[in-house]
Structure 1
């Protein structure tokens, strides 16, 4: 009996050693083939715009194709789950927005940032309020006044429950402006709804609608931030029109993040982190950041520890805001999310 146990233990140790050796060898040669980058939202939205640019530059650094796959639906939860269900070999990665921090309280999935290893937090894409070129609204003050006078009547497109647009709508409600929220699958669908007249306005991300503002198809009314847009410095901040908004405008509403399954080997993660560092330091990426007025979150949160703390604080703030508004399925307390 003892002899059999010794043989079994010896085999287990040998197998463990072989597995570790295989993982190390795989990491030494990673990547050897194309990488799939899942973007859990539709094409044309903020995550897609930044993700595709990042994927192209990451491909140059790694020397293999990085193919973007849009897998939208359910506020990003379908694509996030797909990235987690894939073989954890580093050949499926995730470029996602903030909804991963609210999916549990919204009852969409049991996923959170804890299910992934952080490669890097990426950028914040400032939120802007836009209307169609022929809209009767010419200023943010005009729009807010009409919303206050007609609660629940002025239509706003957004990308679904728990997302940044939803949070924007809740902030408006707290300030006394009650839009009629209409959900769409992507940021691009949201602005198309404005262009077609299906809705009156949207609270989009600047990178998504910049070209349409420049062409004159959309009018930029204001900025949901406490920092002026470098490319549109004359656009008023929300808090300049309503000072009560200042308490909410200090937050990054749309933080984009580069993640992999927490089962991916650390040596592969390190390869991706090193490549990402080179990408964000490149002249081409810096030009993209400047042209789209993006905020460099990887500068503000340069380490994994700092990023985790950022996620924790963001999840707490937004989850409790959604819960207090009565729109979540579960309390943040059910998941140990402390109240801010």
Structure 2
């Protein structure tokens, strides 16, 4: 028999096996748009990165992926809307995973723990301590003294937002004697704009929300809540807060989450799409590089493992400050 024919036949058989395997793995074919509820206002960290990821998912799934902003109550209103929607795979949500995993601890939602979702992470973000460009503080040390003794106002997206939790962590690390007053907004973007305009003195929102205002010279970053400097393309490195305070820091992971209870084929398909299309996406890498985020996608068990340090940190911080409505241990989160 012709050897070339045998080679072609073998190649065709191998291709058929591969194709069959792919078809088996990706069996869900959505027949209508998928909604991703962003429970914060437009322009904030969650909104920004979700609008980068949505077109990648849209192309891979072959259906429209619509980003829907539904802000309010520190992100819990939009999150509840996603949880209350039919569990058919067509309504997702997006957030910092620590928010979704601790809404029960803070009492904002009766349901919403880390195991109530299939988790798909894309970037990790760090809060930055920035002041209005006209503020007198030369470094974070000077600002810290003012936060302890003066009437400093801090713009955040709410008590359980990344900015709100960052402010609380700063207070804990500095001895719990801050007099700085938090002013809350419906998202990170309006909180940052408030600081840039002078409506408040400073903000502790995420780097990705502040980058444009920092580059425009309207905000001055003094420290990043990290143990390493923050590198943002085109800017000087931002020093770590650990240069002034001894505090624990954990990567603040963001992602999109599909509530549990949908058909298994939904999760299997999105797993495959995440692995093949999101985990090496040039657009997402570019966003992270330009905005000061850490590109580190994962899904499933690996994503859950990566998320747990910040989930534990924020849940236990709520407990230690006496702000927990439900003990983290009831949700399988140990603070010992």
- TM-score category of the 2 structures, normalised to the smaller one: 0.7 to 0.9
Other-structure match for 1:267:
265
Q: Deviations over 1:267-307 (max 9, x none)?
A: 11122122222123122222222112211332xxx452232
Other-structure match for 1:130:
130
Other-structure match for 2:114:
113
Over aligned residue pairs, what C-alpha RMSD do you find? 2.1
Q: Distance in 1 between matches of 2:238 and 2:28?
A: 49
Other-structure match for 2:17:
none
Q: Deviations over 1:105-127 (max 9, x none)?
A: 11111221221122x12211121
Other-structure match for 1:227:
228
1:169 matched to 2:167? The reply is yes
Other-structure match for 2:50:
51
Question: By how many angstroms is 1:199 displaced?
Answer: 1.4
Q: Contact 1:101/1:311 (CA < 8 Å) preserved in 2?
A: no
Other-structure match for 2:11:
none
Question: By how many angstroms is 1:44 displaced?
Answer: 1.1
> What is the TM-score with the length of structure 1 in the denominator?
0.83
Q: Distance in 1 between matches of 2:37 and 2:284?
A: 20
Other-structure match for 1:210:
211
Change in CA separation of 1:303 and 1:116 when aligned onto 2, cut-off 3 Å: closer
Question: By how many angstroms is 1:336 displaced?
Answer: 4.0
Q: Contact 1:84/1:260 (CA < 8 Å) preserved in 2?
A: no
Other-structure match for 2:39:
40
Q: Contact 1:72/1:185 (CA < 8 Å) preserved in 2?
A: yes
- With 185-194 and 270-279 compared, the bigger mean Cα shift is at 270-279
SS state at 1:72 partner: coil
Other-structure match for 2:200:
199
Other-structure match for 1:292:
291
1:141 matched to 2:141? The reply is yes
Q: Contact 2:271/2:299 (CA < 8 Å) preserved in 1?
A: no
Question: By how many angstroms is 1:139 displaced?
Answer: 2.1
Q: Distance in 2 between matches of 1:61 and 1:303?
A: 16
Change in CA separation of 1:166 and 1:280 when aligned onto 2, cut-off 3 Å: same
SS state at 1:37 partner: strand
Give ranges in structure 2 of 5+ residues lacking alignment: 1-22
Question: By how many angstroms is 1:149 displaced?
Answer: 3.1
SS state at 1:260 partner: strand
Other-structure match for 1:338:
334
Change in CA separation of 1:190 and 1:336 when aligned onto 2, cut-off 3 Å: same
Change in CA separation of 1:282 and 1:313 when aligned onto 2, cut-off 3 Å: closer
Change in CA separation of 1:303 and 1:186 when aligned onto 2, cut-off 3 Å: closer
Q: Contact 2:162/2:206 (CA < 8 Å) preserved in 1?
A: no
Change in CA separation of 1:286 and 1:335 when aligned onto 2, cut-off 3 Å: closer
Give ranges in structure 1 of 5+ residues lacking alignment: 1-23
Question: By how many angstroms is 1:265 displaced?
Answer: 1.3
Q: Distance in 2 between matches of 1:310 and 1:135?
A: 37
Q: Contact 1:162/1:322 (CA < 8 Å) preserved in 2?
A: no
SS state at 2:163 partner: helix
Q: Contact 2:123/2:293 (CA < 8 Å) preserved in 1?
A: yes
1:239 matched to 2:237? The reply is no
> What is the TM-score with the length of structure 2 in the denominator?
0.84
